[in-house]
Structure 1
Amino acid sequence: MKAIVMRAYGGPENLELTEVPEPKVGPDSVLVRVRAAGVNPVDWKIGQGYLDPMLYVYFPFVPGWDLAGVVERIGPGVTEFAPGDEVFGYARLDYVQHGTYAELAAVPVRTLARKPASLGWQQAAGLPLAGLTAYQSLRAVGSPGAGRTVLVHAAAGGVGSLATQIAVAAGARAIGTASERNHDFLRSLGAEPVVYGEGLADRVRALAPDGVDAALDYVGGEAVAVSKQVVVDGDGSRIASIVDAEGVTRAGGHLVWVRPDAADLGVLAELADRGRLTVHIDRELPLAEAAEAWAASAAGRTRGKIVLVVS
């Protein structure tokens, strides 16, 4: 089968499209014929060795943790799915070797859910990691709902755009930071946009004079410090970050490291099928152009998601 492989740490230039053996399917795993694979910043960060202190990496490895596709075969312990089922998932393991940038991927059943019927393959492939991150970070700050206000930093990005929609679907008011070119996009998601940068706290207070009930940091920098200034009563427990471990810990908030969770994927699928959650695709590229996808992701100006079309 065809797959993208990396034989040594490095940048996008180290990605190679080649033939690799079909993966083995364990007792509690599912073999998925991949239709599309989501591209996430963690993919190229692994490629550059940033996660080497945390994860065993076995070269050559196939990158990728997000997928959408069709079940080809199931392990003997799997009862949740059957061949032909359409699924999507966040197929993260505790090591890096067999990823989703491939025609076939063997993934644990615990990382999969049925694909939302309302989403195409590319949208479904872009949802798992970013959607789970958004949903789990909102849960960390108390799942704000009706009558609550949430500040979303980097609200136009892959995670931020989904967090905004999930919060709005729950009845919350969302204030989102983004560059001016993305303000109309945020309005289309139901958010009130503000420009990031110097003076952000004052601009947020102008929209929410009594403060916001929770804040989500998806960008780093000064986001946690600004959040501390505008969250009601300066309550750090209502701040979550996925990038600033030191800052959010010091503030008394939550560092969120996304976890594969089939039940949470099911919630996201239900929101999508109710018309409350969609995935904006910034760019679709064929599998062979994974290097271009990584370069675009690393540039950091993506609105929504980048996806590889596999089959």
Structure 2
Amino acid sequence: MARIVRFHTLGGPEVLQFHEEPDSAALGADEVRIRVKAIGLNRADAMFRRGSYIEKAQLPSRLGYEAAGLIEAVGAGVTGLKVGDAVSVIPTMDLGRYGTYGETAVVPARFVALKPESLSFAQAASAWMQYITAYGGLIAAGGLRAGEHVLITAASSSVGLAAIQIALSVGAIPIATTLDMAKKDAVLALGAAHVIATRDEDLGEALHRIVGPDGLQRAFDAVGGPQVETIAAAMAPGGIIVSHGMLDPAATPFPLRLALRKSLTMRGYVFTEIVGNADKLEAAKRFILQGLSSGALRPVVDKIFAFDDLVEAHRYLESNQQIGKIVVSVP
């Protein structure tokens, strides 16, 4: 038996429940079962639990995109992985079916990567959502190149910090935003060339001061809302704005006048563009594993909770206090 987390109704952290379930069910030919050592939490988990995510839960539902642990069984068709391997789970296309919140998790082998020896299980459970999201938005969709200025909004999140690291790894210049001055020094210390605290500083004025008339070549925006027009005004001709979130509940305008005048590209992006395409996923794996192995990419873990404290971990996730990743340790 293994303890598995499910929710039977949509709502706040309190809807998460522990269940004792058999862990000996037959695996599909392409699946592996992992004895989980650590779980990485994502904002998507909370949105899925509340019913506001792009994927809708079929109740009762599992949840969780990320984990790390040891393989304890492999399907008949699995190659390249074996029992005892230390691995990480790459976010799948089916959050409810292949949820990672539990003492064990079953996932398709293509969504599993060997854990670099340099990473702890907590770090390995933190790696894939943030780096695949940032890689897809900056490199695959954004085409970021050395020497370019890139704006990264909501940069104290795990994805924001991953984007800073990826930008630095290709020689770009990351300009970060965070809400207030409390997180500014921390984000600077974690590699951003410049940080703008948007509650205390005017975003447009700060961008003009940093990049001048040349403007931004790229923007990786998790916020949306009215500030998109400010970002568009700061873009260089031919610039690309990649929107991957909508933290601002206000409507997001399309800056048509600026897009026409500057030949801007503005596009939406979600990580499923990468994990849903075998070739793109393999390219992302190579990029990320190389960065993890070299140390250019290093997951930042904010806080580790015990498995029994998962509900409290979700409350902390929704408090937005963290800088980096929230992890749950599984005994």
Q: Which residue is equivalent to 1:218?
A: 222
Partners of 1:249 and 1:104 in 2: CA distance: 47
Go from structure 1 to structure 2 and tell me whether the alpha carbon gap of 1:56 and 1:172 turns closer, same or farther (over 3 Å shift).
Answer: closer
Contact residue 29 and residue 75 of structure 1 kept, 8 A: yes
- Structure 1 position 39 matched with structure 2 position 62: no
* Matches of 2:91 and 2:26, distance apart in 1: 15
Deviation string, structure 1 residues 154-180 (Cα, Å, up to 9, x no partner): 111110000000001111111111232
Q: 1:280 aligns with which of 300, 324, 327?
A: 300
Does the residue aligned with 1:253 lie in a helix, a strand or coil? strand
CA distance in 2: counterparts of 1:193 and 1:82, whole angstroms: 44
CA shift for structure 1 position 56: 5.4
CA distances 1:207-261 after superposition (whole Å, capped 9, x unpaired): 110211100112233342222111102x46x101112495469764121110223
Aligned equivalents of 2:101, 2:229: Cα separation in 1: 37
Letter in 2 for 1:285: F
Post-superposition offset of 1:266: 3.6
Gaps of 5+ in 1: none
Once the two structures are overlaid, the 10-residue window that deviates more, 301-310 or 252-261, is: 252-261
SS in 2 for 1:67: strand
Partner of 2:191: 190
Q: Deviations over 1:177-210 (max 9, x none)?
A: 1232222222223212111146201101101102
Aligned equivalent of 1:301, options 296, 321, 327: 321
The amino acid of 1:221's aligned partner reads G
Tell me: CA distance 1:263–1:79, structure 2 relative to 1, closer, same or farther (3 Å). Answer: farther
How many pairs does the alignment contain?
Answer: 307
Q: Which amino acid aligns with 2:294?
A: R
Asked if the contact 1:249/1:255 (under 8 Å) is kept, the reply is no
Distance 1:299 1:56, change over 3 A: closer
SS in structure 2 at match of 1:204? helix
Q: Which of 258, 261, 267 matches 1:254?
A: 267
The reply to whether residue 116 of structure 1 matches residue 116 of structure 2 is yes
Structure 2 CA distance for partners of 1:4 and 1:135, relative to 1, 3 Å: same
Counterpart position of 1:72: 72
User: Which deviates more from structure 2 when the two are superposed, residues 191-200 or residues 152-161?
Assistant: 191-200
Q: Is the 8 A contact 1:99 1:105 kept in 2?
A: yes
Deviations 1:61-118 (CA, angstroms, capped at 9, x unpaired): 2210111111111111111211111111224233613410111111011212111222
SS state at 2:316 partner = helix
The residue type paired with residue 288 of structure 2 is: L
Rate the CA distance shift 1:145–1:93 in 2: closer, same or farther, 3 A: closer
Paired residue secondary structure (1:265): helix
TM-score, normalised with respect to structure 2 = 0.86
In structure 2, the gaps of 5 or more residues are: 260-264, 276-280
Residue 202 of structure 1 pairs with residue 222 of structure 2: no
The aligned residue for residue 151 of structure 1 is 151
Measured against aligned partners, the alpha-carbon deviations of 1:270-293 in whole angstroms (never above 9, x if no partner) come to 212211111111111111211111
Q: What is the CA distance between 1:263 and its match in structure 2?
A: 4.1
Q: Which amino acid aligns with 2:271?
A: V
Structure 1 residues 208 and 309 mapped into 2: Cα distance closer, same or farther (>3 Å)?
A: same
Higher relative CO (Cα under 8 Å, sequence separation at least 6) belongs to: 1
SS state at 2:228 partner: helix
Aligned to 2:278: none
Counterpart of 1:271 in structure 2: which amino acid? G
Q: Distance in 1 between matches of 2:12 and 2:206?
A: 38
The CA distance in 2 between the partners of 1:248 and 1:74, in whole Å, is: 48
**Greater mean alpha carbon deviation, residues 168-177 or residues 132-141:** 132-141
The answer on 1:268 being equivalent to 2:288 is yes
Taking the aligned partners of 2:83 and 2:286, their CA distance within structure 1 comes to 19
1:125–1:307 Cα contact (<8 Å) kept? yes
